[in-house]
Amino acid sequence: MIYDLSPTLRPETPVYPGDTPFDLAWVSAIEGGASANVSRITTTPHIGSHVDSPLHTEPRGESIADLPLAPFLGLCRVVRVPPVPLISPRHVEGIDLGNPARLLFKTESVRDARTFPERFTALAPELAHLLVERGVLLVGLDTPSVDPGDSTSLDAHHTLLRGGVAILEGIVLDGVPEGVYELIALPLRLAGLDASPVRAVLRTMEG
């Protein structure tokens, strides 16, 4: 079974306040006499399900095109946590964080997908440090960011990206039970960019 974790992108898709919304225009159209339909899009790369690169928060960080692909493909664990302001180490007690080394947190803290949430669940700095220490390859959330929406220090981003932990944000985990799956969430090879939209999916383990 395959679970699609990516919301549909459209002009109504909410983005961070002040960021560039999704816009589609037609360069050519068959109805207008052209031989093919050709479209053009304008959008922030931080839209829907997306991956942040170190360049997002680190002045000399790697761009999205320079990231290794291994963290975005492989076994992962979906962990359900309460919709608290910050996920802390106590919420992962008893979980082997390194097996598998990818974690997706199902917070269910964003209930209206039509508007950008004023508040949503994020990662506590202490948990970000713990994930780095345990060798986690990737962490994902069903929220717009691993840091609170009003954060300017972006502690979780800095800790995770400097520690080599990939960040997957904005995924949809509604209807996905806790458990171990295969994750496929490959970012586009966009030179010089700080993020990339992804089509993120989970595949159940055969067996």
- Tell me which residue range forms the domain holding 191: 2-204
Reply yes or no on whether 46 is catalytic.
no
- Give me the catalytic one of 46, 50, 56, 157: 56
Q: Calculate helix-pair angle for 125-133, 155-162, nearest 10 degrees.
A: 10
Q: What are the tens digits of pLDDT across the range 91-112?
A: 999 999 989 999 999 999 998 8
Q: What are the tens digits of pLDDT across the range 33-64?
A: 999 999 999 999 999 999 999 999 999 999 99
pTM above 0.85? yes
User: Which CATH number goes with the domain that contains 199?
Assistant: 3.50.30.50
Please tell me the total count of domains within the chain. 1
